[in-house]
Structure 1
């Protein structure tokens, strides 16, 4: 799928750089206010840096993941996806 993530890099403690299968590139930024519930472990910079790609989606240990289609739509439109 065009929205499959094929590359990810940690840019800062709460920012990721991603590239999709169709070549689209952008950033995913987490705001502190979004780091609650299942996302709370990502407050730890070491945990945040453990991001991986699994079947085109970004994942972290503990079954934390992000929907690649929503991420793709936001990055395609704005160059970034800000999770507030």
Structure 2
């Protein structure tokens, strides 16, 4: 199973991710921000609290997103 090993918050609700296979990818959270569980992430200060835990990206309040989603729906990101 692929896991997230690091996350950096980027402008416009994007996440720069590094995965356990060494790939660096970028994920756009904007399509998810209308969903009830993610609405609080519309606040840029709260969104910036993203961190890695248990191999995926999490925010306070037990908010997370599946690492498979992050990997499959992200695109390559050069550093």
Same fold at TM > 0.5: yes
Instruction: Give the alignment of 1:4-83 within 5 angstroms.
Output: 4-31=3-30, 33-36=31-34, 37-75=36-74, 78-79=75-76
Aligned length: 76
**How far 1:35 sits from its partner (Å)?**
1.2
The Cα RMSD (Å) is: 1.7
Structure 1 gaps, min length 5: none
| DSSP-derived class of the 1:46 partner | helix
**Conserved 8 A contact 2:27-2:73:** no
CA pair 34-69 structure 1, distance change in 2 beyond 3 A: closer
**How far 1:44 sits from its partner (Å)?**
0.5
**Conserved 8 A contact 1:13-1:48:** no
| DSSP-derived class of the 1:23 partner | coil
